């Protein structure tokens, strides 16, 4: 269809003008809705940015608190380890001193036979157990490093 074939009478022009005007009106309404939606999105974007900033600040404060707590726990553990090591060395020294002073004792006393009256005869201990002469060895220290 060419433009020359379309009749340019008044009703046809009014119809085409109404169609174009309606489309223009629909486009304007759509633009208004899009502008309103765009404004809402801008507001929500600014709120989201503020939330992100506050969350980052909270994360940084929690991280610094965590690092401070970790440092404090490490200091406490180091002091505990030093104190334990000191006490262990003192205990080993006392043990060595006792070993040297008790070096005179060569034979421990023999244990006495034990027989409980309430126990059946099959469970009663009747033998004298003799202990062999043995020196007491020091307990090896734990190396904590």
Q: Which pLDDT tens digit goes with each residue over 36-69?
A: 999 999 999 999 999 999 999 999 999 999 999 9
With H, G, I as helix, E, B as strand and everything else as coil, classify residue 145.
Answer: coil
For 113, phi and psi rounded to 5 degrees?
-65, 145
Residue 55 has which token pair?
């969350």
Question: What is the C-alpha separation between 130 and 111, in angstroms, rounded?
Answer: 7
With H, G, I as helix, E, B as strand and everything else as coil, classify residue 31.
Answer: helix
Q: Which of 11-25, 53-67, 124-138 has the lowest mean pLDDT?
A: 124-138
Q: What is the pLDDT of residue 129?
A: 45
Mean pLDDT for 1-11 is 69
Q: What is the pLDDT of residue 124?
A: 46
Contact 142, 88 (CB under 8 A): yes
H/E run at residue 74: helix 10-101
pLDDT in tens, 72-121: 999 999 999 999 999 999 999 999 999 888 875 544 555 555 555 555 55
Q: Is the pLDDT of residue 29 over 70?
A: yes
Query: What proportion of the chain, given as a percentage, has pLDDT over 70?
Result: 66
With H, G, I as helix, E, B as strand and everything else as coil, classify residue 93.
Answer: helix
- Contacts of 99 by beta carbon, 8 Å cutoff, 6+ apart: 136, 138
With the C-alpha atoms ordered 62, 64, 70, 73, is the resulting torsion angle positive or negative? Answer: negative
Which residue is associated with the tokens 């991280």?
A: 63
More confident residue, 142 or 26: 26
Residue 26 has which token pair?
């629909």
Q: Is the pLDDT of residue 1 over 60?
A: no
């Amino acid at each position: 269809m060419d433009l020359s074939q379309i009749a340019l009478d008044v009703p046809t022009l009014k119809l085409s003008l109404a169609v174009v005007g309606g489309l223009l009106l629909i486009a304007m309404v759509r633009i208004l809705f899009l502008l309103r939606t765009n404004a809402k999105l801008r507001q929500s974007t600014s709120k989201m940015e503020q939330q992100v900033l506050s969350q980052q600040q909270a994360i940084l404060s929690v991280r610094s608190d965590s690092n401070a707590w970790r440092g404090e726990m490490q200091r406490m553990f180091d002091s505990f380890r030093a104190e334990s090591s000191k006490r262990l060395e003192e205990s080993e020294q006392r043990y060595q001193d006792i070993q040297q002073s008790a070096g005179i004792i060569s034979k421990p006393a023999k244990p006495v036979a034990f027989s409980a009256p309430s126990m059946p005869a099959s469970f009663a201990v009747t033998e004298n157990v003799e202990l062999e002469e043995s020196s007491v060895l020091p307990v090896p220290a734990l190396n904590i490093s």
